[in-house]
Amino acid sequence: METCGLETSNLYFDTQLNMTMAYDFDIIIDRRGTGSVKYEMLTEMFRREDLIPLWVADMDFETPPFIMDALRRRLEHPVLGYTVLPADYWQTVATWIEEHHQWKVKTKWMTYIPGIVKGIGMVVNVFVAPDEKVIIQPPVYHPFRLTPLGNHREVVYNPLVEHEDGSYSMDFDNLERVCDEKCRVLILSNPHNPAGIVWDRETLVRLATFCAEHHILVVSDEIHCDMALFGNKHVPFASVSEEAAQCSITFGAPSKTFNIAGVVSSWAVVPNAEIRKKFFGWLEANEQNAPHLFAPIATMAALKE
């Protein structure tokens, strides 16, 4: 692997040293003994020790120094009390989304959530009655199935179609067949995990039209959106049409992009006022919109620096 440090993507500006530095992706970091899920649970999950733990999506690269520095600076203060989001928090997130993904979001559309899988669980509880159903499109990130099932909601499957060249597409004919009036939510992986599919605008427009017509709320999980590689361009679901904006909740986070999954800092973007009232009201009542101390610090450092 080429890691000479001269490629622009390997460079960052260190505000403390006031100079440009290179990331070193060759450092081998021993994470054992740090409570890392993917190492500590390896034997329990697979009954073997001699495995490379590729089963959890956090990286063995160092978390960027500007995030570590921001957290360290906070730890120099002797009191670790309750926290609020800084005043410019949502504008910072909105600017990131607009600059990177050309989706203009209003700050009032946004809320903190404590993780995306937890967010899916909350949506299931708030929007899907016990006799209603959730649609997923396998193969897909397994909590999309386990979270509704764990909450005793029926899961409806609309498998992706795999083509001879290894590409995938959504099966709209099958979606029409499997969907009934009890289907309340569709969980979209955008980009799609696994297979690394960056959904195109046309597919997302078609999905939005289908879901709007069938009164289905789309949860668009966009956690991997910053990592569209090889010329691919992420298209935020809610940005493709007014229909899409009005029938969706989008989840995002800095956790994958900056390797801070353990910090647990995520957001939801909800353009529709009615959906927002219901969802944000539930979050507020249960204080699920209250960030823990380190979430805004790490997130602001990531997005600003």
Residues that bind ligand PLP (CB under 6 A): 57, 115-117, 141, 189, 193, 221, 223, 253, 255, 261, 266
CB of 140 to ligand PLP, least distance (A): 8
Question: How far is 210 from 219, CA to CA, in rounded Å?
Answer: 14
Give the nearer residue to ligand PLP in terms of CB position, either 10 or 125. Answer: 125
Our CA angle for 82, 269, 289, nearest 5°, is 20
Give the nearer residue to ligand PLP in terms of CB position, either 15 or 159. Answer: 159
CB of 200 to ligand PLP, least distance (A): 18
Question: How far is 192 from 199, CA to CA, in rounded Å?
Answer: 8
With beta carbons less than 8 A apart as the criterion, state whether 161 and 171 touch: yes
Give the nearer residue to ligand PLP in terms of CB position, either 117 or 216. Answer: 117
Q: Are strands 19-22 and 11-14 parallel, antiparallel or unpaired?
A: antiparallel
Question: Tokens representing 256?
Answer: 């994958």
CB of 192 to ligand PLP, least distance (A): 8
Give the nearer residue to ligand PLP in terms of CB position, either 221 or 268. Answer: 221
How many of the other CB atoms lie within 10 Å of CB of 149? 14
Question: How far is 133 from 163, CA to CA, in rounded Å?
Answer: 28
CB of 195 to ligand PLP, least distance (A): 11
Give the nearer residue to ligand PLP in terms of CB position, either 94 or 225. Answer: 225
Cis before 194 (ω within 30): yes
CB of 252 to ligand PLP, least distance (A): 10
Give the nearer residue to ligand PLP in terms of CB position, either 189 or 248. Answer: 189
Question: How far is 276 from 282, CA to CA, in rounded Å?
Answer: 10
Integer angstrom CA distances of residue 285 from 10, 148, 161: 43, 22, 41
CB of 84 to ligand PLP, least distance (A): 21
CB of 223 to ligand PLP, least distance (A): 4
Question: Tokens representing 258?
Answer: 């900056």
Give the nearer residue to ligand PLP in terms of CB position, either 105 or 260. Answer: 260
Integer angstrom CA distances of residue 122 from 34, 110, 114, 212: 29, 15, 10, 21
Question: Tokens representing 89?
Answer: 């928090």
